[in-house]
Structures are given as C-alpha cells and as structure tokens.
Amino acid sequence: MTWIREILLFAAGITIFLYGTMRLSEEVQTYLSSLKVRRIFRFAVHNPFFGLLTGICSTVLLQSSTATSVLVVGMVSAGLMSFYRSLGIILGADIGTTLTVQLIVWKVTAVSPLIVFLGGMLWFFGQERWKKIGEGILYFGFIFFGLELVAMATAPLGQSEAFRDVLKTADHPALGLLIGLATASAVHSSAIPIGILVILAQYGLISPEHALPIVFGANVGTAVTALLASLVANINGKRSAVAHFFFKLVGALVCTALLSIFQGVLLKFSVGAAQQIALGHLLFNIVVVALFIFILRPVSYLIEYLLPGKSRTLPIWPEYLDDRCLSNPEEALDRVKQELKRQMILVESNCSTSMDLISRFDAGKARDAAYVEFVIDNLRREVGQFLRKISAGSLSQEQTKRLFAYSGMADDIERIADHAVDVIKLARSKQRTAVCFTSWAEAELEEIMGYVRANLAEVVALMDDLDPGRVESIFLRENCVDRLVRDARDRHIERFNKGVCQAEAGPVFIEILLRIERMSDHCENIAEYARDLKEGVQGKG
C-alpha cells in the first residue's frame, strides 16, 4: 500500500501548491490596488519594453504567469488597456514565472516548512499589518511546501526500473511537447510540471534532453488558461489570449526544431541536469521575447485581421484635469465639470449593465464592469485631489460654491457606481442559487429600472446644461421610483405570504430594489446641486 501513500502525498503537494499560488496572487493583487496600481499601468503602457518589465515584476510578485495573463486579458476586455499595449506585459509575464523553478533548484523547498511556520506565526499572533505580511509569507511557503511534498512522493521512483523505462520510451520531442501541454493545461500552471521535472532531475531520473520538450509544451499549456478566460471576454480580450498562445506555440516549435543547439547552449552555462532544465525554461522565454518584442505591432495587425471586430479603450486617468490650469480657477473648475461628465457616462454604462444582468447574468460582462469600476474609483480620487488643489487658491464666492457642489456630485456619482456593483453581486448570487423571480416581480423591476435609467441619462445631460426642466424631471421620476418601490415591496410580501414566490427570492428581490432606489436617490442629490448652481448663476446675473 506504499504506492497509495505516495500518490496521495503527490496529490496533496499539488493541491497545496495550487492553493498557495491562488491565494498569494489574490493577496498581492489586493495589495497592489491599495498602492495605486494605476500608476504601474501608466508605466507599463508607455512602450513595449516598459510593458515587458512590468510583466516580469508582476509575475514575480504573483508567482504565476497565468494569473498575470488572465488579469491582462480581463483589463483588455474591459477597455482599460489596448490590445497592442498588452503584448509587452504578456511577454514579460512569461519570463517572471521562471523564478519559481529556479528557487526549486536552489532547494528553497527544503526550508519551506520554516517559511510556513514563520508566516503562520505572524498571521496568528501579529498586529493587523503584520498579519497581512504573515499571510503572504504563509502562501509563499505553501507554494514550495507543496513542491517539497511532491519531491518526497517522487523520491522512491529513483529505485524503480519500470519508471526509468517509461521515461526512456517517451523520448520523442513531439510526445514531450504534448505531455507538457496537457499537464500545464490541466493544472493551469507551467511551474508544476517544470518543477516536477527539476525534482526528477535532482534524483537523476530524467535528463535535460528528455525534459526540455516537456518544458516547451508546458509553456504552451499555460497559455490555455488565458484562452479559457477569454471565452467570456470581448474581442480585444480574445486577441490578447490568442496572442499569448501564438507566442508560446511559435517559441515551442522553434526551440524544438533547434533542440540540439538549445542543449549545447545550456551545457556552456550550467552544470547539473536540474539547473539546465531551469535555465532551459528561462532561455525558452527569452527566445520568445527575442522573436517578438520588435515586431509586436505587425503581430497585433495580424491578429486583428484574423479576429476582426470593434473595441474600445477607456482612459484610466483623467482626460481633462491639468495642473497648469490651477492658476485660473474658472478654467480648472470647467475641467472638473468635464471630467465629472465622463465619469458619469461610465457610471451610467455600469448601472445599465448591472440591471441587464439581473434577468440574464453574464460572467464576462460582470467582470468588465468590475474593471470599469476600477476606472471610476480612480477618477473619483483624481477629481478629489484636483479639487483640493483648486481650493488652495484664491476663489470667488461663486467659484467656492461650484467647488463644493462638484465635490458633492463626485461623491454621489461614485456612490451610484457602488450600488451598481452591489446589484451585480446580487445578480451573480441569484444566478448561482438558481433563484427565479415571478413574472409580476420582473414587471415591477422593469418599470422601476426604466425610471432609474432615464434619471441616469438626465444626470449625464445635466453635466452640460443646468436646465431647470431636467432637474424637475429627475425629481418627478424619483418620486415615482419611491412610490413604485414601496408598492413592489408590499406586493412581494403579499405574494410571499400566499406562497406564490420562492422563499429564497425574497431577500434578493428586496435588496435589488433597495440598490436601484439608491441609484435614483443619488441622481436626485446631483440634481439638487445642479439646481443650486443654476440659481446661483441667475442670482449673480
């Protein structure tokens, strides 16, 4: 029964590795967001070489090129980054992931229990800041502890002649490519199959000659996860995923065709089979970068030709705010007004998406909306900072009134966006739990959402023209929304008591009503600011 124990140990190691990679990736993404990750992307999209460096650094932090690639596909799909600008980051991500394999060669796996212990102690007993650091260290330790378990499980194979015979029969490069591709695709990580190869090489079970084709295939396989993620992406997201797969596939074919030369280069730079495999992984990705870094523009044209379609790119940063205008408060405030309108257009789009997802949930649209929310939050911060800079200057009474009104509008616009995010979460919950609304509930929601959509569109128009008629229309619709929401709640309670609707549908329905009503409430707040500003202008006149 020893072989059963080894199989379970191997499976446990893979599970712990995947869990550590996933959780570390999530923690680092959250941490980067708190550090204003938008500035990293400003650096990244400046040119392909900066994107290459950003891809390397982000993958070293995330410990997964797959996580970086999926993140990039999502951002491109949401319009936060152009397809062409994403290509450099994707190339860099593939180089960054080679660090994990190199650490295995350096036997970091041997001290992984100590890393897990130290991270766990900080997580359990540290203060809040140290808890987060400890959690990150713990997940980092899990990655290598999982691989240490794999090493323990594979150690007995060194005594198995049957296993050695199997490796000898799988000596055709094409077979190695397929093995690597299938394995990395299955576990969504190239580090696992390549790490196992390094461990086997440390026990003398596999030679670089047999391992390198598997390394090439594993690199192709890791691009499959991004392809799967692109199934719910728009055309630009699909293009980025296809480009990633194309880079890897061409690189694998070229390196396999030149396998003897490839091996000769490795023999000059490294000693030991394990180190040769790790450096082979690095050299493969350097070859891919060398093949494509100078022809990214033609490659982008080729893929756009093969995958035609229209796309949009949303500027992550303000388009109108300019510190050079601060010497002229009137011009600076006009620019804030323009930026608020752009922010409100994005908010209206997200709100419309959130309401559409209630009846028919779409994971791709929900993810895109989350990225647009990232832009909205960023614009809110930038507008707030710009308003504070304006307030430091000399302002007239009317300008001061505008400054405070725009500050309030910016807050209400962001709150509308937050409610849209909540509606999307509720729509996702409704879909996952198979909750169904009655035809009466759907009709009530549709009527209420019609008024809210109209109010959102009216607020966008108010950013250009402080028309009292528009303000009055928003107030009237808001009164209708309040009345309709009250009636809908009452009718829902009546249906619930009669057993007409699902019990599980009740809380979801009421919460959605509440969030949609709040959107309209904030529209009314913005209309009140607009009315006050209009009255101020008329009084001045």
Statement to judge: residues 275 and 340 lie in one domain: no
- The domain boundary, picked from 277, 306, 335, lies at 306
Of 272, 416, 287, 404, give the one whose Cα is nearest residue 336: 404
For residue 458, pLDDT over 50 is answered with yes
The CATH code of the domain that includes 515 is 1.20.58.220
Percent with pLDDT over 70 in the chain = 85
Question: Rg of the chain's alpha carbons, rounded to an integer?
Answer: 28
DSSP 393: S
Q: Among 102-106, 284-288, 402-406, 506-510, which is the least confidently predicted range?
A: 102-106
Is residue 17 assigned to a domain? yes
Q: What is the pLDDT of residue 168?
A: 56
Q: What is the rounded distance in angstroms from the CA atom of residue 265 to the CA atom of residue 361?
A: 52
Statement to judge: residues 382 and 289 lie in one domain: no
Burial of 498 (0-12, 13-18, 19+ CB in 10 A): exposed
Write down the residue that tokens 């396998």 correspond to. 259
Q: What is the rounded distance in angstroms from the CA atom of residue 72 to the CA atom of residue 75?
A: 5
Indicate the number of domains in the chain. Answer: 2
Instruction: Output the average pLDDT for the chain.
Output: 82
Statement to judge: residues 245 and 196 lie in one domain: yes
Size of the chain, expressed as the number of residues it contains:
541
Statement to judge: residues 361 and 499 lie in one domain: yes
For residue 313, pLDDT over 70 is answered with no
Is residue 103 assigned to a domain? yes
Sign of the alpha-carbon torsion through 20, 23, 26, 32: negative
**Average pLDDT estimate for 228-254:** 83
For helices 235-257 and 208-229, what crossing angle results, to 10°?
170
**Tokens matching residue 439:** 């035809």
Q: What is the pLDDT of residue 36?
A: 47
Helix, strand, or coil (residue 66): helix
DSSP 232: G
**Structural domain boundaries, residue 340:** 326-540
Q: What is the pLDDT of residue 106?
A: 78
Is residue 316 assigned to a domain? no
Burial of 532 (0-12, 13-18, 19+ CB in 10 A): middle
Write down the residue that tokens 């044209």 correspond to. 301
The pLDDT tens digits for 376-416 are 888 888 899 999 999 988 888 888 999 999 999 999 999 99
Q: What is the rounded distance in angstroms from the CA atom of residue 396 to the CA atom of residue 385?
A: 20
Which amino acid, 358? I
| pLDDT classification of 484: cutoffs 50, 70, 90 | very high
Runs of H (alpha helix) within 230-295: 235-257, 259-269, 273-292
Is residue 314 assigned to a domain? no
Of 313, 377, 334, give the one whose Cα is nearest residue 463: 334
Q: What is the rounded distance in angstroms from the CA atom of residue 421 to the CA atom of residue 519?
A: 11
Between 345 and 79, name the one with better pLDDT: 345
Write down the residue that tokens 């198995």 correspond to. 160
| pLDDT classification of 271: cutoffs 50, 70, 90 | confident
Q: Among 73-87, 140-154, 332-346, 355-369, which is the least confidently predicted range?
A: 73-87
Q: What is the rounded distance in angstroms from the CA atom of residue 28 to the CA atom of residue 318?
A: 26
For residue 250, pLDDT over 90 is answered with yes
Phi first, then psi: give them for residue 416, nearest 5 degrees: -60, -45
Q: What is the pLDDT of residue 34?
A: 43
Between 82 and 36, name the one with better pLDDT: 82
**Tokens matching residue 11:** 């499976």
For residue 33, pLDDT over 50 is answered with no
The pLDDT tens digits for 426-437 are 999 998 888 888
Statement to judge: residues 301 and 345 lie in one domain: no
Statement to judge: residues 241 and 277 lie in one domain: yes
262 contacts 212 by C-beta, under 8 angstroms = yes
Sign of the alpha-carbon torsion through 359, 361, 364, 369: positive
Q: What is the pLDDT of residue 45?
A: 56
For residue 139, pLDDT over 80 is answered with yes
Statement to judge: residues 279 and 333 lie in one domain: no
Is residue 130 assigned to a domain? yes
| pLDDT classification of 422: cutoffs 50, 70, 90 | very high
- The domain boundary, picked from 306, 339, 370, lies at 306
**Tokens matching residue 351:** 């709100």
Q: What is the rounded distance in angstroms from the CA atom of residue 262 to the CA atom of residue 212?
A: 9
Burial of 205 (0-12, 13-18, 19+ CB in 10 A): buried
The pLDDT tens digits for 157-171 are 656 666 556 555 556
Statement to judge: residues 296 and 334 lie in one domain: no
119 contacts 136 by C-beta, under 8 angstroms = yes
Collect all residues with Cβ–Cβ distance below 8 Å to 141 and sequence separation of at least 6: 20, 112, 113, 114, 115, 116, 117, 118, 119
Q: What is the rounded distance in angstroms from the CA atom of residue 528 to the CA atom of residue 541?
A: 20
Between 465 and 182, name the one with better pLDDT: 182
**Average pLDDT estimate for 343-361:** 92
Burial of 132 (0-12, 13-18, 19+ CB in 10 A): middle
Q: What is the rounded distance in angstroms from the CA atom of residue 523 to the CA atom of residue 412?
A: 8
Is residue 515 assigned to a domain? yes
For residue 477, pLDDT over 90 is answered with yes
DSSP 157: G
Please state, in angstroms and as integers, the Cα–Cα distance from residue 443 to each residue in 356, 447, 449, 484, following that order: 14, 6, 10, 11
274 contacts 202 by C-beta, under 8 angstroms = yes
Phi first, then psi: give them for residue 141, nearest 5 degrees: -65, -35
Q: What is the rounded distance in angstroms from the CA atom of residue 240 to the CA atom of residue 77?
A: 9
Of 298, 488, 519, give the one whose Cα is nearest residue 417: 519
Write down the residue that tokens 């790119």 correspond to. 313
Please count the helices (runs of H) and the strands (runs of E) in the chain.
22, 0
Largest Cα separation within the chain, whole Å, is: 96
Statement to judge: residues 250 and 349 lie in one domain: no
Statement to judge: residues 235 and 332 lie in one domain: no
Statement to judge: residues 120 and 225 lie in one domain: yes
The pLDDT tens digits for 199-231 are 888 877 788 888 889 899 988 988 887 787 677
| pLDDT classification of 541: cutoffs 50, 70, 90 | very low
Of 46, 104, 44, 47, give the one whose Cα is nearest residue 68: 44
Is residue 281 assigned to a domain? yes
The pLDDT tens digits for 488-497 are 988 888 887 8
Is residue 315 assigned to a domain? no
- The domain boundary, picked from 259, 278, 306, lies at 306
Q: What is the pLDDT of residue 474?
A: 94
Collect all residues with Cβ–Cβ distance below 8 Å to 486 and sequence separation of at least 6: none
**Tokens matching residue 235:** 């055309």
Write down the residue that tokens 């990705």 correspond to. 285
Helix, strand, or coil (residue 172): coil
Statement to judge: residues 45 and 140 lie in one domain: yes
